[in-house]
């Protein structure tokens, strides 16, 4: 497929992802919730920038990050030096996470922690657990065992961590499994799994994303033990005042240089590492090398446009909309609205359609594409509703996470191991860019209106969205077992049936 056709496909995927939520917000603002016309226009312009930016970014990630991960993973296997594989995994995991757009958005919205400190902590957490994931693949350790051990550690640490850090910690785990990190990590894992020659090597490449999402949770919890957390009450920032159309243009023009610099600093580590690796080991030919450089340029341009559109026009309207609705006499209406938006957000995620189709093929039709799509829609819609319930009532996040993860881990004993890996990996698919951008801002605005604590009551939305598919996908795995009569630990996975989560 030519780059032009690929770009057209990515733009259409981006439109399908962002247009539904944009339409819902526009209808609500025109019919129910009054917002300043300047802010509405800035929102629509931001949505357009997000569509173009996400399309360019997705194309760039396919042309560059996935290929870099695959090339480096393959080269790492030829060395067969454990220490080198672990060191490179840590460096790459840390570098690639710094450029993750969902993480950038989350770090910008957290009022109580310095943005750079949070970015570094989360990135180091991913890097460390990418090393752990490589060890699991190389030594064929059970994914279920590792998940149980690490989640016991997570919830044990949660008993002594500052309450204001818990929701942010679990949200950090959800946003790191995004469009930048997932294809890179999956490509790296498939390459490293080639070292093993047994029949389960390919299926053991599942679970990388699941394990890497635990690292940020632990890292942010440890951060809460070390650093003093600032007060999280109130709004996260000043809502821009777009009185005139020229103010909208000035607002965007003023912010673009900052994001040009931030994105350059975020991509620089992985870019420099790739250049060094190319000179020392890869030695790619001119054409594939040039394609990767073009892909990095697409990634850079798309990420700048995406982040500018999110932070200048898209997220501010979400916060104002949430604050306005929560100030109405019938403030409970934010719950069904959040459920509705959650339903359409997950249906519009391109990665979900890839996942549902390949799970149907993997199970030979025992679990249909429609069934898994419906289960994910119900999971994300209900997660959004629970998040708004927390905003209105202040119910602690652990009241949902502890029973949810206990149910997910218990299910892992009754479904094939491949389904467990797919389920824990698919949490990253569900908590896509729109959850971290609009829905989180909506929750922050609503929380501010009802006088809640943003750190404890608004954050945690991404964590709930990432948790629910762990239960629903494994539930479908249990249905598969009942229909097929297969109760083996692993479901056979052919080379061309590897589930691609992005």
Asked if the model's pLDDT at residue 231 lies above 60, the reply is no
Report yes or no: 110 and 459 within 8 Å, Cβ to Cβ.
yes
User: How many Cβ atoms sit within 10 Å of the Cβ of residue 123?
Assistant: 26
The structure tokens listed for 419 are 């389904």
Residue position matching structure tokens 């603002």? 29
Strand, coil or helix: what is 207? coil
Continuous H helices in 99-162:
101-109, 115-139, 143-157
Report yes or no: 184 and 89 within 8 Å, Cβ to Cβ.
no
pLDDT: which is higher, 339 or 204 = 339
Give tens-digit pLDDT for 371-408: 878 888 888 999 999 999 999 999 999 999 999 999 99
> What is the four-CA torsion angle of 347, 353, 355, 361, rounded to 10 degrees?
130
Least confident of 107-121, 325-339, 481-495: 481-495
Asked if the model's pLDDT at residue 347 lies above 80, the reply is no
Radius of gyration for the alpha carbons in the chain, expressed in angstroms and rounded? 21
Let me know if residue 366 belongs to a domain.
Answer: yes
CA distance linking residue 239 with residue 328, whole number of Å: 20
Residue 500: pLDDT band with limits 50, 70, 90: very low
CA distance linking residue 453 with residue 233, whole number of Å: 5
pTM to 2 decimal places = 0.85
Contacts of 465 (CB under 8 A, 6+ apart): 174, 342, 379, 380, 383, 384, 387, 427, 430, 431, 435, 439
Contacts of 66 (CB under 8 A, 6+ apart): 183, 184, 187
Triad 251, 256, 261: Cα angle to 5°: 145
pLDDT recorded at residue 494: 38
Give tens-digit pLDDT for 242-301: 777 788 888 888 889 999 998 898 889 889 988 998 998 888 899 999 999 999 999 999
Which helix (H) or strand (E) segment is 286 a member of? helix 286-309
pLDDT recorded at residue 189: 73
Give tens-digit pLDDT for 47-106: 999 999 989 988 988 888 878 877 887 777 677 788 888 898 899 899 889 888 888 888
CA distance linking residue 265 with residue 132, whole number of Å: 27
The structure tokens listed for 213 are 């999402």
Percent of the chain with pLDDT over 90: 33
- Overall domain count for the chain: 1
Which helix (H) or strand (E) segment is 421 a member of? helix 417-430
The structure tokens listed for 70 are 């695959």
CA distance linking residue 190 with residue 413, whole number of Å: 25
- Give the residue numbers spanning the domain of 343: 3-497
pLDDT recorded at residue 197: 59
pLDDT recorded at residue 158: 93
Tell me the average pLDDT of the chain: 83
Report yes or no: 421 and 493 within 8 Å, Cβ to Cβ.
no
Residue 364 φ/ψ region, left for φ over 0, alpha for ψ in the -120 to 50 degree band, beta for the rest: left
Q: Calculate mean pLDDT across residues 476-499.
A: 58
Q: Calculate mean pLDDT across residues 149-172.
A: 92
Let me know if residue 502 belongs to a domain.
Answer: no
């Amino acid at each position: 497929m030519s780059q032009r056709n690929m770009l057209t496909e990515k733009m259409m995927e981006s439109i399908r992802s962002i247009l539904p939520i944009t339409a819902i917000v526009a209808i609500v603002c025109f019919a129910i919730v009054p917002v300043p016309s300047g802010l509405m226009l800035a929102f629509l312009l931001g949505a357009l920038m997000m569509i173009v930016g996400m399309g360019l970014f997705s194309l760039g990630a396919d042309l560059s990050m996935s290929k870099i991960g695959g090339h480096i993973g393959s080269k790492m296997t030829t060395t067969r030096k454990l220490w080198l594989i672990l060191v490179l995994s840590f460096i790459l995991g840390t570098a690639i996470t710094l450029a993750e757009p969902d993480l950038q958005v989350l770090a910008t919205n957290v009022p109580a922690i310095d943005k750079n400190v949070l970015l570094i902590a989360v990135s180091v957490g991913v890097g460390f657990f990418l090393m752990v994931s490589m060890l699991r693949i190389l030594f064929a350790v059970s994914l279920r065992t590792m998940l149980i051990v690490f989640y016991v550690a997570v919830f044990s640490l949660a008993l002594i961590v500052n309450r204001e850090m818990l929701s942010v910690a679990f949200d950090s785990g959800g946003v790191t499994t995004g469009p930048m990190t997932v294809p890179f990590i999956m490509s790296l894992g498939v390459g490293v799994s080639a070292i093993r020659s047994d029949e389960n090597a390919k299926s053991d490449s599942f679970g990388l994303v699941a394990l890497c999402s635990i690292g940020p949770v632990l890292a942010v919890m440890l951060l809460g033990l070390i650093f003093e957390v600032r007060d999280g009450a109130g709004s996260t920032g000043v809502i821009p005042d777009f009185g005139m159309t020229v103010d909208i243009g000035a607002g965007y023009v003023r912010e673009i240089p900052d994001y040009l610099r931030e994105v350059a600093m975020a991509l620089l580590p992985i870019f420099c590492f790739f250049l060094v690796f190319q000179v020392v080991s890869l030695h790619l030919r001119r054409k594939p090398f040039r394609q990767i450089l073009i892909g990095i340029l697409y990634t850079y341009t798309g990420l700048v446009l995406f982040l500018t559109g999110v932070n200048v026009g898209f997220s501010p309207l979400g916060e104002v909309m949430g604050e306005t609705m929560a100030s109405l006499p019938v403030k409970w209406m934010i719950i069904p609205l959040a459920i509705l938006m959650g339903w359409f957000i997950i249906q519009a995620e391109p990665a979900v359609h890839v996942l549902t189709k390949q799970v149907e093929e993997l199970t030979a039709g025992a679990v249909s594409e429609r069934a898994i799509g419906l289960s994910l829609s119900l999971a994300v819609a209900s997660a959004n509703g629970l998040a708004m319930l927390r905003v209105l009532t202040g119910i602690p996040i652990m009241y949902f996470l502890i029973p949810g993860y206990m149910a997910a881990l218990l299910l892992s004993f009754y479904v094939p191991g491949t389904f467990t890996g797919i389920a824990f990996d698919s949490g990253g698919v569900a908590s896509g860019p729109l959850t971290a951008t609009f829905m989180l801002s909506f929750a922050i605005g609503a929380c501010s209106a009802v006088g809640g604590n943003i750190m404890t009551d608004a954050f945690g939305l991404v964590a709930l969205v990432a948790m629910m598919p762990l239960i629903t996908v494994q539930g479908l795995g249990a249905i598969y077992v009942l229909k097929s009569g297969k109760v083996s630990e692993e479901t056979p996975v052919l080379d061309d049936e590897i589930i691609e989560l992005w």
